[in-house]
Amino acid sequence: MTKNIVGPAEHATKSGQMAEHLMQMQNARVFIVGDVILDQYISGKVSRISPEAPVPVLLETSQKFVLGGAGNVAANVTSFGASAILAGRIGIDTDGERLTHLCQTHNIDCTAMVKNGNQPTTRKLRVLAGYQQIVRIDAESTERLDAAAEDAILKSFDAFVASARSNTHSTDNRHGNYRALVISDYGKGVCTPRLLTSLIAKSNAAGIPVITDPKSSDLSRYRGTTFIKPNLSEGREILRRMKPDAWHADLEEEIGALLKVVESECEARHVVLSLSEKGVVASTAGKKNLVRYKSDVLQVADVSGAGDTMIAFLAMAAACDLPLDRNVQLANIAAGTVCGKLGTATLSSAEFMEAFQEREGVTRPEKVVTREEAARIAAQYRHGGRSVVFTNGCFDLLHAGHVTLLQQARDQGDILFLGLNADVSIRRLKGPDRPVQNEQDRASIMSGLACINYIVLFEEDTPIKLIEAIKPDVIVKGGDYRQNQVVGADIVMARGGRVAIIPLLQGRSTTGIIERSKSGKID
């Protein structure tokens, strides 16, 4: 089987701007069905061994509850900005009340949840000493859903499908057909064969992609799914069951055999195989080429929940019908990023974009966004407690003074937006002979600077409309400006922000470079 390693440069030309894809994904509606788990974390410090038994004594410092299992998939969807409907089973108990409250906190629609007074809410208690997990204690029942509970979930899904059909002709995709079904099977009894068969059939009939995270090695129960995402250990178990005499000394051969078996067993359109520290590989039925990305985890704090994050991103991207390579790329980066967080975690779209830029070394159109996109991204950063910095200029011929200014601007906060004068704006301000370089070239050059996170072109003489949209916490200008001369200073300061004036690097200017070039005195 031929490998196809897809890199970020190819995406920049093939798939357009990342910001556009993220905005599409935020318009997705995802129906998640599966085993909902309440994850409990008790954290503390260990400084001695118990005199009663040879076990560590933990001095508790904190305790928290978060959504796990299918609930974590839903939390990842809504934290990113999309919509999630969660269907699963909870008990009529305190843990069930906690779980419902967490769903409400995350803006997850949990009206499709079914309750059972005879079974407890599934809970996993993890005890941590710093980053080290000491013990995990599970409370659960794996009894299958009864027919009434299956029918209740199917009725909720019918309503989800019907709402998609009613918006077939809608031009507003915030309420349109960016839909997906996620099957999150943790083997706790919710994903019964009858329920899965009915859900997949209904989804296929409605043209809704199905993304499956399997637990059972019997993949026939997931037959007809669009995406299936086993991890390497699950895949090996499936391969051993299907071909007990098969043995592969080479990992690549094993991966190829595993992908074929999984694809044929459940008739999936795409198989996405998580390889842990080795990254992720994906195949498409009937095609020889593979899509593959290496793992980009910068620092692993906790891998719990990373698979849920990957499934959530696969689902949102599939709902928007993004290309497979882009879909897998997004899911791989998201999963790797949450591994850097302690415990079961989620990502906002702003956090994801920052991680994407760091891991992919983005220097192309991925950084160039519209005014509307910039406003939305900036709002998400502010909501997350991050400070937004703004500066602007023509940057016609990039020189050392520009770079110094921009690097120091970036140091004023967490995220830097650059307002870049469009060509028509520069001609009005500086005359018909400027700019020397067109706006596309200038944007491409500026996007190569790591200190710049986003670039927005504007055609007006001043960036006042852009400042009103982004609402920065800090405006940065060079030392040739006074504070009362800075456009938008009053707007920022009225919101409690500030203006930072950065000293200029003497002897550097675009005009000077042009004049010296004309006189032949460039040195």
pLDDT digits (tens, 9 = 90+) for 214-261: 988 788 899 999 999 998 888 888 887 777 776 666 788 888 888 888
**Please, what is the end-to-end C-alpha distance for the chain in angstroms?**
55
pLDDT digits (tens, 9 = 90+) for 384-427: 778 999 999 999 888 888 888 999 998 999 889 999 999 999 99
pLDDT band at 505 (very low <50, low <70, confident <90, very high): low
> What does 27-59 look like in DSSP terms, one character per residue?
T-EEEEEE-EEEEEEEEEEEEEE-SSSSSEEEE
pLDDT digits (tens, 9 = 90+) for 143-160: 999 999 999 999 999 999
Surface-to-core class of residue 280, CB atoms within 10 Å of its CB (0-12 exposed, 13-18 middle, 19+ buried): buried
- 129: its two tokens: 């000493």
- 341: its two tokens: 């967080």
Share of the chain above pLDDT 90, in %: 52
Burial 465-485 (b: 16+ CB within 10 A, else e): ebbebbbbbbbbbbeebeeee
Cβ atoms 401, 508 nearer than 8 A: yes
What's the distance, CA 274 to chain centroid?
16
Domain ranges of the chain: 3-360, 368-519
Confidence (pLDDT) at 75: 95
pLDDT digits (tens, 9 = 90+) for 9-41: 343 333 336 777 887 888 899 999 999 999 999
| Amino acid type, 34 | G
Fold held by 368-519:
Rossmann fold (3.40.50)
Surface-to-core class of residue 404, CB atoms within 10 Å of its CB (0-12 exposed, 13-18 middle, 19+ buried): middle
Q: Is 296 a catalytic residue?
A: no
Rounded to two decimals, the pTM is 0.74
**Statement: residue 139 has pLDDT above 90:** yes
CA–CA separation, 264 and 259 (whole Å): 9
**What superfamily does domain 3-360 belong to in CATH?**
Ribokinase (3.40.1190.20)
Catalytic residue among 308, 325, 423, 473: 308
Residue with tokens 């001095």: 59
Confidence (pLDDT) at 69: 94
Mean pLDDT of 309-318: 95
Name the residue among 399, 401, 417 with its Cα closest to residue 480. Answer: 401
Q: How many CB atoms lie within 10 A of CB 127?
A: 18
| DSSP-based helix, strand, coil % in the chain, nearest 5 | 40, 25, 35
